[in-house]
C-alpha cells in the first residue's frame, strides 16, 4: 500500500496530545442534590466506561478521516517499461526544392519530402520508447511538435504537413539546427541527438549553421545530417493550373561540406540519401547507433481506499452519536 499524500499522516502524531489536553480540561458529570457529600466518591472518577467508549469512537473516526486524507491506495498491477534514454529532435526541410522527384519506389517517382517523411515515420515506429520532437523549416524554423512519447500525435502531425504551408523560397539550416538544439537543451537523458534533413544550403536565417553546431557540441548533443538528393540534376515537376504538366531538370545544391562539418563537430555522422534504398538504410544505421536502455517501473493501476476509510469514519461517527443519544446517554 502507498499513500498519494503521506504528509497528512503527520496529523496522527498530534492526536495523543489533543486527547491528553481534552482529558485535562473536561468537566465531570454533575447532579443536583441537597448535599453533595453523598457523591464525593463519584466525582473523583474522571469519566465513566460509557463516556470512555464514546470518546474512543470519536477518536477512531478522526483517525480514519486523517488516513483518508493521505489517500491510501493498493497497487493492483505493476508494469515494467524499458526506455531507451534517448531524446531525438528531427529537423525536416520544407523548402520548395523538396518537391523534386529524385526517388523511385516500385517504379513510381517520389519527391524528396515524401521520401524523407516515409523514412522518418518508419524510424518513429522502431523507437516506441524515445521522446521525439519535430522542427520544420524553410525561410524560418518552426516547432511542429515538442518532444513527446505520444507517437500517434507525432505521426498525425507529420501526415498533415505539405510543402507550401510555410514560406518555402529559401532554407534556414542554422536556425533549424538551433531550434532543434533548444528543444534538447534542458532535458535530462542518457543521449540527445538531432537528425537534420535538407536538400540545399543555408541562405536564410539569423544563425550560421556552424555556430549552431558549436552550441550543440557544448551541450553534448550529437547531430546526424542527411543530404537529400541525387548527384547532378534532379527532375522538378512543372505545374499549370494546379496540374502537373511535366518536369524540368534543376541542379542539386546540397551543401555537403557544411553538413559534414556539423556532424563532425558534434560527434555525429553525415549521410547522403541519393536513392530510396540508401535513404532507408541510413535510418536503420542511426537506429542501431543510438541504442541505450534503462528499466523504469511504471505503476499503472491502483485500488483507491479513500472511499472505504471515509465511509468507515462516517459509520463510526454515526454510531457514537446514536449511542450517545440512546443507551449510553449522559445525564446533564
pLDDT digits (tens, 9 = 90+) for 170-202: 899 999 999 999 999 988 878 899 999 999 899
**pLDDT of the residue at 74:** 79
C-beta separation of 209 from 262 below 8 A: yes
Beta strands in 130-280 (DSSP E): 131-137, 141-148, 191-198, 222-228, 233-240, 243-251, 270-273
167: CB partners within 8 A, 6+ apart = 138, 139, 140
Crossing angle of the two packed helices 276-289 and 112-126, in degrees rounded to 10: 30
Crossing angle of the two packed helices 256-266 and 209-218, in degrees rounded to 10: 10
Name which of 29-38, 62-71, 122-131, 165-174 the model is least confident about.
Answer: 29-38
Confidence of residue 294 (pLDDT cuts 50, 70, 90): low
Tell me how far apart the alpha carbons of residues 288 and 286 are, in angstroms, rounded to a whole number. 5
**pLDDT of the residue at 6:** 83
Tell me how far apart the alpha carbons of residues 189 and 89 are, in angstroms, rounded to a whole number. 13
**pLDDT of the residue at 46:** 45
Crossing angle of the two packed helices 306-325 and 49-69, in degrees rounded to 10: 160
Name which of 27-36, 117-126, 137-146, 277-286 the model is least confident about.
Answer: 27-36
**pLDDT of the residue at 241:** 82
For residue 221, count CB atoms less than 10 angstroms from its CB and return exposed for 0-12, middle for 13-18, buried for 19 or more. buried
Predicted TM-score (pTM) of the model is 0.65
**pLDDT of the residue at 34:** 52
Does residue 44 register a pLDDT over 50?
no
**pLDDT of the residue at 330:** 59
C-alpha cell at 31: 447532579
Class of CATH domain 85-292: alpha beta
In the chain, % of residues over pLDDT 90: 41
Task: Say which residue, 127 or 77, is predicted with more confidence.
Answer: 127
Task: Say which residue, 284 or 59, is predicted with more confidence.
Answer: 284
Task: Say which residue, 197 or 82, is predicted with more confidence.
Answer: 197
Tell me how far apart the alpha carbons of residues 270 and 256 are, in angstroms, rounded to a whole number. 8
Does residue 264 register a pLDDT over 60?
yes
Cβ atoms within 10 Å, residue 223: 28
Does residue 82 register a pLDDT over 70?
no
Tell me how far apart the alpha carbons of residues 306 and 304 are, in angstroms, rounded to a whole number. 6
**pLDDT of the residue at 176:** 97
pLDDT digits (tens, 9 = 90+) for 48-65: 566 677 778 887 888 888
**pLDDT of the residue at 129:** 84
Residue 56, SS3?
helix
C-alpha cell at 200: 540545399
Does residue 43 register a pLDDT over 50?
no
**Best CA proximity match to 113, nearest among 46, 42, 200, 3:** 200
**pLDDT of the residue at 317:** 82
pLDDT digits (tens, 9 = 90+) for 206-262: 999 999 999 999 999 999 999 999 888 999 999 888 788 889 999 988 999 999 999
Domain ranges of the chain: 2-77+301-325, 85-292
**Quick one: how far is CA 278 from the chain centroid?**
33
> What is the helix (H) or strand (E) element at residue 93, kind and residue range?
strand 86-93
> What is the helix (H) or strand (E) element at residue 303, kind and residue range?
strand 294-304
Confidence of residue 45 (pLDDT cuts 50, 70, 90): very low
**pLDDT of the residue at 218:** 95
Tell me how far apart the alpha carbons of residues 299 and 302 are, in angstroms, rounded to a whole number. 8
Mean predicted confidence (pLDDT) in 259-287: 92
Task: Say which residue, 76 or 134, is predicted with more confidence.
Answer: 134
**pLDDT of the residue at 198:** 96
The per-residue pLDDT of the chain, averaged, comes to 84
Amino acid at each position: 500500500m502507498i499513500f498519494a499524500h503521506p504528509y497528512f499522516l503527520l496529523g496522527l502524531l498530534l492526536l495523543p496530545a489533543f486527547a491528553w489536553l481534552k482529558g485535562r480540561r473536561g468537566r465531570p458529570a454533575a447532579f443536583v442534590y441537597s448535599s453533595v457529600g453523598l457523591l464525593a466518591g463519584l466525582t473523583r472518577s474522571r469519566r465513566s466506561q460509557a463516556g470512555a467508549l464514546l470518546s474512543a469512537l470519536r477518536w477512531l473516526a478522526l483517525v480514519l478521516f486523517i488516513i483518508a486524507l493521505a489517500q491510501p491506495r493498493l497497487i493492483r498491477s505493476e508494469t515494467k517499461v524499458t526506455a531507451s534514454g534517448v531524446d531525438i529532435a528531427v529537423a525536416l526541410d520544407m523548402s520548395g526544392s523538396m518537391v523534386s522527384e529524385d526517388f523511385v519506389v516500385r517504379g513510381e517517382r517520389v519527391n524528396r519530402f515524401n521520401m524523407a517523411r516515409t523514412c522518418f515515420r518508419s524510424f518513429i515506429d522502431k523507437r516506441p520508447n524515445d521522446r521525439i520532437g519535430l522542427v520544420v523549416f524553410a525561410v524560418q524554423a518552426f516547432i511542429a511538435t515538442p518532444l513527446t512519447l505520444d507517437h500517434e500525435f507525432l505521426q498525425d502531425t507529420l501526415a498533415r504537413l505539405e510543402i507550401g504551408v510555410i514560406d518555402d523560397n529559401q532554407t534556414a539550416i542554422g536556425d533549424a539546427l538551433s531550434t532543434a538544439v533548444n528543444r534538447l537543451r534542458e532535458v535530462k537523458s542518457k543521449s540527445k541527438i538531432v537528425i537534420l534533413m535538407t536538400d540545399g544550403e543555408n541562405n536564410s536565417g539569423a544563425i550560421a549553421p556552424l555556430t549552431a553546431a558549436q552550441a550543440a557540441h557544448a551541450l553534448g548533443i550529437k547531430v546526424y545530417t542527411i543530404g537529400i538528393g541525387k548527384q547532378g540534376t534532379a527532375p522538378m515537376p512543372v505545374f499549370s493550373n494546379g496540374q502537373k504538366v511535366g518536369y524540368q531538370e534543376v541542379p542539386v545544391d546540397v551543401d555537403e561540406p557544411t553538413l559534414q562539418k556539423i556532424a563532425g563537430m558534434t560527434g555525429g555522422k553525415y549521410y547522403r540519401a541519393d536513392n530510396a534504398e540508401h535513404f532507408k538504410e541510413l535510418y536503420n544505421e542511426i537506429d542501431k547507433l543510438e541504442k541505450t536502455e534503462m528499466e523504469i517501473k511504471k505503476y499503472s493501476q491502483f485500488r483507491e481506499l479513500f472511499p472505504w476509510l471515509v465511509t468507515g469514519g462516517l459509520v463510526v461517527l454515526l454510531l457514537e452519536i446514536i449511542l450517545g443519544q440512546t443507551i449510553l446517554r449522559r445525564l446533564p
